[in-house]
Structure 1
Amino acid sequence: MELANISLPIRSPFLDRRLLRRFLNLYPLLPGPRIIDFQPWSGHAGSLLIIVGRGFSDVRSENIVTVGGQPAFVISAEENRLIVISSNEAETGAVTVALRVQPDVVRQGPRPFNILDTPSSDLQFDGPPIFSIGADKGWLSYSQTGASYFKKPDDDLPDDGPTYPVPTQEEMEMSNGQSWTTTIVIMPCYPSDQPEPSAAARQVIVDRWNQAAEFWRQATYGIWTFIPRVLEWQALAYEGAHFVDPGANQLKEGVYIDLFGNALFANRDTLQDPKFQNNRPGGFCVSYFNNGNFMRGANYGPIERLSWKVGPVTVNWHFLNRPSFIYVGDSANWGRMAHEVGHSMLRTDAKGLIHPEDVYDGDLVDGPEATAQSFDMMGDHDPGPLFSSYFMVQRGWYQAWNYPPNRLPELLRSNVFTLEWKADPRGPAFTHEYDLVAHGSSQNRTTNRWHVLRIKVAKGLDYFIEVRERPPAGSSQVFDANIPTAGGTRGGVIVTRVISGERPLNNNQQTNLITLLHGRDRVRTLTDGEQVRDPARGIIITVVRNAVSSNPMVSRVRVEWNQAPPGENPAANMDLWIQPWDDAYNSPDIWVNRWTNGGTNPPNSGWPPSVPVDNNETPIVPKVGQPWRHDFVARIRNSGTAAANDVHVVHYANSSPGIGDNNRWEAIQAPIDSRNIGTVPANGESYSIVRWTPNVNRHTCLQVHIISQAGERLATNNMAQENIFKFDSEASSPGEPVEMLVSVRNPLKRRALIRVEVDGVREGFGVYFPHRWVWLDAEGERELTLIVVPLLDNREMKKPGARRTRIRAMGFVAREYKDKNMPEWWSSIGGITMEVTCKYGAKILLEEKPVLDRGLLQVWGAVELAVAGVHVVVTAEKARGGMVSAYGKTESDGRFGVTFGYDELKDESGISAALQATIVDSDEFVGAESNIVHWLY
């Protein structure tokens, strides 16, 4: 193993084999196994250690290693060096080694390994390591100081009603009206220097959470609800000064895991009750007693594994459904609670945040532009507004359903009417009126009425028109009681502009926004006769009549475009765009095709360029003179009625692949930075292709920028990125670990804590990353090594796809706001997906005597294990330099054959070549090279 950038205090002799031999020669040769030393001498549970000595087995599974009384995982084994990962439950204690053939002969290291507290009390230190082992059992497992147990849910125990796991985006969109209910566990806690709060103080928390749950029930028409389970007061292990920064009225940065781990441990008996096991909570919230003083809240996002240590106690939690973790102060009102639930309880992406857009003034480039905050629960939440219509439409909550007994729900109607704006100056004028109804106690079922009118302007840009209304006197409606309205009215029309789409937080762009299209001077509902205009597109929205009827309020609006004289805005009928990445950091518009000797491997010829499986063929680092070629392909789209001419595209690469973006990308092509791909047709697409040569031992993030043209509909959809990488675990039993350098980057212009989460670890694999969080200076970066360890033999991985795991490493940075009403939360800064496949080892052989027949050189060989369809490339290096290659596949008996043309091999010295075969892109076998055959004619 390379063990580059593992962020541990390890001396160079332990990493350099030549220096290691010199070091070991200082000690007498005694029968093994024998531990001479190990590094580091101290670290967190789950740390990586290097043990040096004599007499170890070079087969990983034949070495039995313990650290601090717990079995350690051996990830690399040589006769004189072992690389191990200590258990998450390890305590301060001895490091021992034994061989499986002599398990009673146990050798101990020269000193104990000292386990550090987690987290460190110095918050400027980096966090403890991540060591996660894939599991295939119930939703929650728990272990404490070596005593691990798991309680299986008892289906016979009663609960408080039907509950389900948190639904995914796809499940919500395809739910066919199915309602969802989950449990949120609220853990009231107080610091050790405070007396236990009263039962009345707990009841206030209960009442406010019930109000937040009622908001969600009303807002979603009962489609999505949660049951708050408020536990009893529990004392924390530390005083208040350990947790709270009184100057900032919030938790100290870096103690989130400490707070959550402490609260879970204090409630461990309750949480292990089978009733909670049955309900599979979708979230946990720590309600921190701050004696009634103001305290910010925060949403930490979903957590799969959590380790916490204080004194001699180590606690490890594993949540397979990745519930979200929230904290609020005891003074928080129900609006803040409902807001925090909104951030992550309905997950729509890998980062776990349903509402990543900024709706309110905070650290935005232009804060006052956040004009919609008073109309969105994800904005100024304390006054209790409804969600803006973008979120209501996104989640499918404006669909009217009928629920007949003993039958599937029936969709009665959609309460969203959608228009698509088209820039066609020669087209007819568009004018139409629509009746819109406010969100009432039940879905609208009146024909020719809708809750929302949506105008699709461009890819990623929409206008939403809706009616908002304060509840009448005596109403049980909990939301919108405090929305700003025009004088003398209880409500009216609002128009929001939404810029959507998945983007990592970056230092050179304003975060996606939901704003009022009627601007900063009319932050209120609109009334009779008022208009909203988009002059560049000629769109006019008019409130024809504000109150056609009331309770719920109905308003009539008129939408117009193409009213301007022809030619007023001719460039707005074109929009260049490229699809951004999905939740696996994979863009369908970016891929790599690998070529050998003029043909792709496997063959992907023709136009347009074909897309390989998983969007990428595995890059191969070429040897000098080798004819490997990689095409970095980008699909450029144009939505509009006019062609886009003289389109320029920039292809970037960034090594190592990273979490976060600090804008340190390098353009691939030279000598110019952009490539003119000519014309992209109207409502069509074209392709930008550049040659890319990967570097040795480096996997790379790829990024594409379309240079914006004047008059485009939208200039913020011109960039996409691809962060997916494939690795083969080299053959052994179990497979060998796979290392990948990952750059963690700070996108902010200030020193910040970057939190790292890893998920997707399936049964039979383990993953190690040096830190759960790192501190980075402004726009700084650090390279760290992500290690994936196969734990089972290939033959034990019998389930479909069991030999492959797709692991995501994701980064988050805290978002901070000056307004005391705005809680902090963790914003995604992107991540990478790493695919590791355990494969079998196989030898490949070339026959020594190729045959020249009728101008063709026939070369034969075989793969040791007889499997049909294994891809093989044979390269021929000519005597005077230069290489050619031929592509083939194995037959059912493992044999293969390829041919070279006479003219391909001939040069001034005659015809001679050195031939070698390589296994590539095999689903079953690790890539391997054959013997070299020298041929002379």
Structure 2
Amino acid sequence: MQSRQGFARRLLVVLACAGLAGCAYISKVSPRSGLPGTVVQIDGAGFSPQWHENQVTIGGAAARVIEGSASRLRVVVLRDLVSGTVQVTTPARTIVSSDVFERRGDTLGPTPERDADAKLVVGRDFPPDRRYDMQAKGASQKVLVVLARPTDIDPEAAIPGWAAAEVGPFANAKEFVQRLVSHPERGVSRYFSDATYGQLGGDFLVTDWQPLSQPWDFYAWGPADVTRAQTSVAGAQTDLDTVLANPASTQADIDAAQARLDAKKQALKQAQDSQGFLQQADFAFAEALIGAKAALGAAVFDQYADHFLVLAGPWMRGSCCWVGTGFHAESANPALPLGPFDIGFPAPRGGTWMAEDGKPGRMAHELSHFFASGDLYDGPAGAFDLMGFHDSLPLYSGYNQHLRGDWLDQGASGNVLKLQWGTPADLDQTIELVAHGKTQDPTGDSVRQVIRLRVTDGLFYFVEVRQRPDAAAGAAQDFAFDKSVPGGEAGVQAGVLITKALESNNQSNNREPMISLVPPEISPSPRLMVVGEVFTDPARTIRISVVSRTQDRPARYRVRVEWGHLPAADPNGQFDLRITPWASPPWETEDIWANSVKNDETSPPRMLFQNHEPGDETKPIGNGDPPWVGHDNTLFARISNQGVVQTPDDVRVTFYVNTPPGVGDNGTWTPFDTVVVGRLNPGETRVVEAARKWRPSVGEHTCVKVLIERMNGEVSFDNNEAQENFSDFEAEGASPYRAVELDVLARNPYDQGIAMELMARGVPRDWFVAFDHGAVWLPPKGEKRIHAVMWTDRVPEWMQDRPKDQGPPKAMISLEGWVGRPFDRIIPVGGVTAFVKAVRQVVVQAEPRQKEARSGEKLGVLGRVTPAMGGVPVAIHVIDPNGKTAVERVATQPDGRFDHVMSVPLGQPGDHRLQAFVLGGSPAAQAESPPVRVRVN
């Protein structure tokens, strides 16, 4: 009834205004409800045609106008949204809606039946060159351990049965968790210190138990979720059977009932696959952290750079790693009114969690995800690395110690011997290795702790000695790690470990671990190698053998590394084609870029790039040039052969494009061009130019992927592809700046359904990002379109009385998709980096000195940029009748004017076209002048 009455009132207003000049009304608000971050469209009449002259409130709370005309406005609702009428205030009038916009929706985790509602990310003031998650080095990194208690859990009753034997004695559940951190033999602090020679450690503070608002079953996936899902499947099956049995049912009725059943079955699988994980992580973190901040006080709370949530209750798996600037969680739907819970941090913080029954190794493992490798549960290497079977507290393996942690002395005579396969061509060297103790082995001698054998950047072998500690042998042998490493020589409990580390271009490839164990030839079991055992890599003639043990404790072994003359007739495994994988963030690779002729020069010919190395415009970085929409652009890729022989066949490189850019990769790429490069010599790097020109459509932003086609005999296929996101934006404006809008596709790379959370990282102070969905459910290999709005409310430099201390004029915002299942940590599966610059909207004009000229005469050009700005780069294009373009560049004077004579004389008679373009890279927005005809006789 209310909706009909509201419609009737709006209709009366519209009819009454029909034909009247100056009439103003709001006829429609769509949608009628939402959460902060929702984009709302307001239709009506009487709005200011200048979008920024309209001020909009909803329920009295300001909304951010992002686009508008005299009859339509689009706004983003902000964090302090309350239900109420919509009010538009222009310089001439105030207009109020007859209907109410409601704050309604939820941020609950997505399911196969529904996605989460809108999400608003508010930027924070932090140095862009710093990270705030736990680092590999730093002895007193501040970690706040937040204890959280659901309404139906007594933490004292939930203390695990093993607690006293593991870390006792303690008086209560809080002291139990404190012992996990500080136990003198098995605590996290002790482990970090011993494993890294005191270079890594945490300054831990454990809070009191913070009460949560809901029972454990709300925050975590448990058996009750499976039971409910099974009941729903049975109900949906009954409904489908009823529809099928009804002769009056249409095919549409049958399809709808089948779709409901399919969704229920997917929901059941989600519940089954998610057992032991957090279900509503945002609610758990937000509520617990709000309580901890209130208890500790903001001054103490804000000192801690990482948060470790411990949830009271039964066994669960832990997970890492959130990195964010705060949490917002709410459910404003009538079925579950909850929140809103809002907490912001003064800078990005890392987040990790586990259940109350987690052991010290679990806590150390989850924190290590910030700086070490992914999980190593799949494969025997997990027994020898904390990132695998952590409860036994094994040491980090060589890859994590050296490449990720940098805990060992890297000097020429330090504790890491760095070998490069094939250099020299014939190697036979014996090295003495010593086990990792509480103190690092003295440097300057011939004894090492790790051998790093680099085959290519795609493949490393690490050799080290491992040994169980012996407290009876003295303080030097009493350390927290490796108390359960398997195998080795019984008398000394030691042996040699060889692991293989593969570079992977897939950000989410946890199914094939980066680190794997190389088994002894005579016994391929997950254990240490002993004297006399050998590992070989026949394709590369590599042989690593354990020669002898020279000391019992700390154990020392002599290890022999050999490779011989490489067989040219058999190239198998002797070369490696590589392109640098993309990295997160900023989700781009240094080996893919584009060039547009917009800012090149033709006299002398020079290929110039808007994004370039400091001081050299000819060396691209990032995208090189933002794609020139509607014009020809050229794509480039840099590839290399890191092997020691020439490729046996011609190398083929294929360029792919995908619009819009994607978060995640489900393989839906469109081939764009294939280039036959020829054979690559060992160590050769070559820049490949796509033969086909890329002409992107208006308003579309694109991902480009380059794939080096696989060839038999490559060392690794994991580094044959890379991806680049082309998303360079200018937020134009006088005051305020215009918002930037972007569609991205959330893509599921897996063969099972996943819940993907959309995150924005690198959002500076005075900048904002709104997603239409904060999290989505994606079926296997599925995808969904996500709309993002980015804007800044900073006051432009050219405005008077602007604040001196405000956010930067340029932001590198990473829009990312994060997933938890099917993994044991929360990881980004892909992202898009939006380079957004706040610039002043300008107009450029250019006129020839002479409307008519003679062939061979040089053309003079006069122009100006308004509002006047000095130092603005302008490209002058002169296009002859055959379409050939001459490009030269000039910079404006302080009054905005420019005066330039083209260095190349006019050629062929006929109509030439003159046009000027304001280039990117200055405080002025890109702009183009109207084309002007020049007649050449």
2:149 to 174, 190, 198: 190
Amino acid at match of 2:340: T
Counterpart residue number, 1:807: 813
The answer as to whether partners of 2:855 and 2:906 remain within 8 angstroms in 1 is no
Amino acid at match of 2:916: A
Taking the aligned partners of 2:604 and 2:284, their CA distance within structure 1 comes to 52
Counterpart residue number, 1:632: 635
Amino acid at match of 1:856: E
Matches within 5 A, 1:150-229: 166=132, 179-195=138-154, 197=156, 200-210=172-182, 211-229=187-205
Taking the aligned partners of 1:167 and 1:313, their CA distance within structure 2 comes to 27
The answer as to whether partners of 1:421 and 1:455 remain within 8 angstroms in 2 is yes
1:462 to 460, 464, 469: 460
Counterpart residue number, 2:874: 871
The answer as to whether partners of 1:398 and 1:415 remain within 8 angstroms in 2 is no
Counterpart residue number, 2:731: 729
Counterpart residue number, 1:349: none
1:412-468 residue CA offsets vs partner (Å, 9 max, x unmatched) = 9631111111078xx44x211111111111111162111111111112211000111
- The alpha carbon displacement at 1:200 in A equals 2.0
- The alpha carbon displacement at 1:609 in A equals 12
2:32 to 41, 44, 47: 41
- The alpha carbon displacement at 1:215 in A equals 0.9
The TM-score normalised by the length of structure 1 is 0.81
Taking the aligned partners of 1:106 and 1:869, their CA distance within structure 2 comes to 41
- The alpha carbon displacement at 1:632 in A equals 0.6
In terms of fraction of residues, the more helix-rich structure is 2
- Asked if 1:579 corresponds to 2:580, the answer is yes
1:340 to 366, 374, 377: 366
Counterpart residue number, 1:842: 842
- Cα separation, partners in 2 of 1:122 and 1:100, compared to 1, 3 Å: farther
- The alpha carbon displacement at 1:556 in A equals 1.4
The TM-score normalised by the length of structure 2 is 0.81
Amino acid at match of 1:931: P
- Asked if 1:527 corresponds to 2:518, the answer is no
Structure 1 gaps, min length 5:
1-13, 15-19, 140-163, 173-177, 347-353, 362-369, 402-410, 623-627, 818-823
1:215-261 residue CA offsets vs partner (Å, 9 max, x unmatched) = 11211111110022211122211122212322358456651112111
- The alpha carbon displacement at 1:891 in A equals 4.9
Taking the aligned partners of 2:641 and 2:617, their CA distance within structure 1 comes to 18
- Asked if 1:50 corresponds to 2:71, the answer is no
1:497 to 491, 497, 500: 500
Give secondary structure in 2 for the equivalent of 1:72: strand
Give secondary structure in 2 for the equivalent of 1:835: strand
- Cα separation, partners in 2 of 1:454 and 1:328, compared to 1, 3 Å: same
Amino acid at match of 1:288: L
Moved more, 455-464 or 36-45: 36-45
- Asked if 1:754 corresponds to 2:771, the answer is no
Taking the aligned partners of 1:497 and 1:120, their CA distance within structure 2 comes to 38
- Cα separation, partners in 2 of 1:761 and 1:206, compared to 1, 3 Å: same
2:660 to 656, 681, 689: 656
Moved more, 568-577 or 701-710: 568-577
- Cα separation, partners in 2 of 1:194 and 1:702, compared to 1, 3 Å: same
Counterpart residue number, 1:8: none
- The alpha carbon displacement at 1:66 in A equals 2.3
Amino acid at match of 1:285: F
Counterpart residue number, 1:17: none
- The alpha carbon displacement at 1:269 in A equals 0.8
Give secondary structure in 2 for the equivalent of 1:323: strand
Matches within 5 A, 1:679-698: 679-690=679-690, 691-698=693-700
- Cα separation, partners in 2 of 1:37 and 1:800, compared to 1, 3 Å: closer
2:211 to 230, 235, 256: 235
Counterpart residue number, 2:920: 921
The answer as to whether partners of 1:96 and 1:109 remain within 8 angstroms in 2 is no
Counterpart residue number, 2:390: 381
Matches within 5 A, 1:372-771: 372-400=381-409, 414-422=414-422, 427-428=425-426, 430-445=427-442, 447-474=445-472, 476-486=478-488, 488-489=490-491, 490-500=493-503, 503-505=506-508, 510=512, 512-518=514-520, 521-546=524-549, 548-562=550-564, 566-567=567-568, 569-582=570-583, 583-595=585-597, 604-605=606-607, 610-622=618-630, 628-644=631-647, 645-669=649-673, 674-690=674-690, 691-771=693-773
- Cα separation, partners in 2 of 1:600 and 1:301, compared to 1, 3 Å: farther
Give secondary structure in 1 for the equivalent of 2:859: strand
- Cα separation, partners in 2 of 1:725 and 1:386, compared to 1, 3 Å: same
1:844-889 residue CA offsets vs partner (Å, 9 max, x unmatched) = 22337424145336252312325345222335474xx856454342
- The alpha carbon displacement at 1:138 in A equals 11
Counterpart residue number, 1:306: 327
- Provide the alpha-carbon RMSD of the alignment: 3.5
Amino acid at match of 1:275: V
- Cα separation, partners in 2 of 1:26 and 1:54, compared to 1, 3 Å: same
Taking the aligned partners of 1:931 and 1:228, their CA distance within structure 2 comes to 63
Moved more, 569-578 or 460-469: 569-578
Amino acid at match of 2:809: R
The answer as to whether partners of 2:282 and 2:327 remain within 8 angstroms in 1 is yes
The answer as to whether partners of 1:537 and 1:569 remain within 8 angstroms in 2 is no
- Cα separation, partners in 2 of 1:530 and 1:668, compared to 1, 3 Å: same
Taking the aligned partners of 2:412 and 2:913, their CA distance within structure 1 comes to 72
1:321-344 residue CA offsets vs partner (Å, 9 max, x unmatched) = 422222211111111111111112
1:65 to 34, 44, 56: 56
- The alpha carbon displacement at 1:316 in A equals 2.2
- Cα separation, partners in 2 of 1:168 and 1:315, compared to 1, 3 Å: closer
- Asked if 1:329 corresponds to 2:355, the answer is yes
Structure 2 gaps, min length 5:
1-6, 158-170, 224-271, 332-336, 610-615
Taking the aligned partners of 1:167 and 1:43, their CA distance within structure 2 comes to 32
1:295 to 299, 316, 336: 316
Counterpart residue number, 2:255: none
Amino acid at match of 1:604: R
- Cα separation, partners in 2 of 1:638 and 1:373, compared to 1, 3 Å: same
The answer as to whether partners of 1:335 and 1:382 remain within 8 angstroms in 2 is yes
- Cα separation, partners in 2 of 1:127 and 1:778, compared to 1, 3 Å: same
Taking the aligned partners of 1:30 and 1:599, their CA distance within structure 2 comes to 53
Counterpart residue number, 1:146: none
Amino acid at match of 2:397: S
Amino acid at match of 1:924: P
1:257 to 278, 282, 288: 282
- Cα separation, partners in 2 of 1:308 and 1:600, compared to 1, 3 Å: farther
Counterpart residue number, 2:613: none
Counterpart residue number, 2:244: none
1:170-212 residue CA offsets vs partner (Å, 9 max, x unmatched) = xx6xxxxx74321222222222123463662232222122212
The answer as to whether partners of 1:591 and 1:611 remain within 8 angstroms in 2 is no
Give secondary structure in 1 for the equivalent of 2:540: coil
- Cα separation, partners in 2 of 1:506 and 1:331, compared to 1, 3 Å: closer
Matches within 5 A, 1:892-903: 892=893, 894-897=897-900, 899=902
- Equivalenced residue count is 829
Counterpart residue number, 2:243: none
Give secondary structure in 2 for the equivalent of 1:504: coil
- Cα separation, partners in 2 of 1:629 and 1:121, compared to 1, 3 Å: closer
Taking the aligned partners of 1:412 and 1:857, their CA distance within structure 2 comes to 61
Give secondary structure in 2 for the equivalent of 1:711: coil
The answer as to whether partners of 1:98 and 1:106 remain within 8 angstroms in 2 is yes
Amino acid at match of 1:917: A
Taking the aligned partners of 2:793 and 2:494, their CA distance within structure 1 comes to 62
Give secondary structure in 2 for the equivalent of 1:440: coil
The answer as to whether partners of 1:545 and 1:557 remain within 8 angstroms in 2 is yes
Counterpart residue number, 2:308: 285
Taking the aligned partners of 2:448 and 2:874, their CA distance within structure 1 comes to 57
